[in-house]
Amino acid sequence: MRTAPIVLSALLSVAPAARATAADSPAAAPARSTEPAAPPWSLRFEAQGLTVDEGALRSAVARELARARVPAGGEPVRVAIFVAEGGDLSVRYRSPAGTELARSVAAPARADEVPEASALLVGNLARDEAGALLTALARQQPASAAASTPPPLPAAESTRSDVPPTLPLDSLNLSLAYPLTLRGDTEKRHFAFELGLFYSRIGALSGAALDLGVSRVDGVAHGAQVGGLGYWHGGPGDGARLGGAFGLSSGRFDGVSATGLATLHAGPMAGAELAGVTSIATGDFYGAQASGFFDYAASVTGAQFAGLASVSHGSVQGVQGAGAAAIAWGDVQGMQISMLNVGGAVQGAQIGLLNIAGAVTGTQIGLVNIADSVKGQSIGIVPYNREGGLRIVTWFDSTQPFNLGVRFHAGALYMMPTFAFDPGSAALVSTEPSHMRYALGTSLGLRLPFERAFVDIDVNQSQRSQGWEYHIDEATLDLRYRVLAGYRIVRRFAAFAGGGIRQYFPQGGPRGGAIQPEFSIGMEML
- Statement: residue 151 has pLDDT above 50: no
Tell me, what CATH number does 413's domain have? 2.40.160.20
Residue 447 CA to residue 176 CA, distance in Å, equals: 75
Tell me, what CATH number does 109's domain have? 3.30.160.100
Q: Are 441 and 418 in contact (CB under 8 A)?
A: yes
Q: Is residue 283 part of a domain?
A: no
Whether a cis peptide bond, with omega within 30° of 0, leads into 142 is no
Q: Which of 104, 138, 158 is the last residue of a domain?
A: 158
Q: Are 239 and 255 in contact (CB under 8 A)?
A: yes
- Statement: residue 162 has pLDDT above 60: no
Query: Considering the chain, what percentage of its residues have pLDDT values greater than 70?
Result: 78
Residue 51 CA to residue 153 CA, distance in Å, equals: 26
- Statement: residue 506 has pLDDT above 90: no
- Which of the four pLDDT bands, split at 50, 70 and 90, describes residue 335? very high
Q: Where is pLDDT greater, at 244 or 92?
A: 244
pLDDT at 511: 62
- Which of the four pLDDT bands, split at 50, 70 and 90, describes residue 141? very low
**Average pLDDT of the residues in 386-394:** 80
Q: Is residue 270 part of a domain?
A: no
- Statement: residue 7 has pLDDT above 80: no
Buried b (16+ CB within 10 A) or exposed e, 254-289: bbbbbbbbbbbbebbbebbbbbbbbbbbbbbbbbbb
Contacts of 138 (CB under 8 A, 6+ apart): 146, 149
Q: Is residue 9 part of a domain?
A: yes
Q: Which of 107, 132, 158 is the last residue of a domain?
A: 158
Contacts 24+ apart (CB under 8 A), 149-152: 149/11, 149/14, 149/15, 149/17, 149/18, 150/14, 150/15, 150/16, 150/17
Q: Which of 123, 158, 193 is the last residue of a domain?
A: 158
Q: Is residue 313 part of a domain?
A: no
Contacts of 139 (CB under 8 A, 6+ apart): none
Q: Is residue 316 part of a domain?
A: no
Among 166, 202, 168, residue whose Cα is nearest residue 182: 202
pLDDT at 467: 63
The number of distinct structural domains making up the chain is 2
pLDDT at 415: 83
* Least trusted range by pLDDT, from 134-138, 302-306, 429-433, 447-451: 134-138
- Which of the four pLDDT bands, split at 50, 70 and 90, describes residue 422? confident
pLDDT at 204: 93
Q: Where is pLDDT greater, at 481 or 388?
A: 481
**Residue range of the domain that includes 418:** 390-525
pLDDT at 474: 57
Q: Is residue 294 part of a domain?
A: no
Contacts of 184 (CB under 8 A, 6+ apart): none
Mean pLDDT of the residues in the chain: 80
Sign of CA dihedral 337, 342, 343, 346: positive
**Average pLDDT of the residues in 339-355:** 95
Q: Is residue 318 part of a domain?
A: no
Q: Is residue 276 part of a domain?
A: no
Residues 202-261 have pLDDT tens digits of 999 999 999 999 999 999 999 999 999 999 999 899 999 999 999 999 989 999 999 999
